[in-house]
Amino acid sequence: MVEKTLAIIKPDAVKKRVVGKIIQRIEEEGFSISGMKQLRLTKEEAQGFYAVHKEKPFFGSLTDFMSSGDIVVMVLEREDAIAHWRKTMGVTDPAKAEPETLRHSFGFSVERNACHGSDAPETAEWEIAYFYKMP
């Protein structure tokens, strides 16, 4: 079944100038990019996006980081997009990610791990709407 997922290239990867390499990998993995924009989140926008984590100890540093520089937000489509994108990204900790995954290749730490992806269809729908307000 073709589905959509949200992908974010985080500030660390934008600063490292690997956006093109990540997009190339997205295309090689068979995704269609149906939406893409570069922007910089305010602290408040980052807090809104990551509100599900507001009670966790890393919330402040995560939202500081996500509002520290430009990000690239994309809507990806393909069969089983959510699971395939998460496999392509690798686990959250780049040091534990499988070789050839994006986080292994481009991530620095658990927080500065190059990319984000939705974890479920409901999350994907909410996250896409957060960045692409539907009329």
pLDDT tens for 1-29 read 899 999 999 999 999 999 999 999 999 99
Q: Is there a catalytic annotation at residue 116?
A: yes
Q: Which two tokens stand for residue 94?
A: 């780049």
CATH number for the segment(s) 2-131: 3.30.70.141
Q: Give the pLDDT of residue 134.
A: 54
The interaxial angle of helices 121-131 and 81-89, nearest 10 deg, is 80
3-state secondary structure 93-112: CCCCCCCCCHHHHHCCCCCC
Which residues in the chain come in under a pLDDT of 50? 135
DSSP SS3 for 13? helix
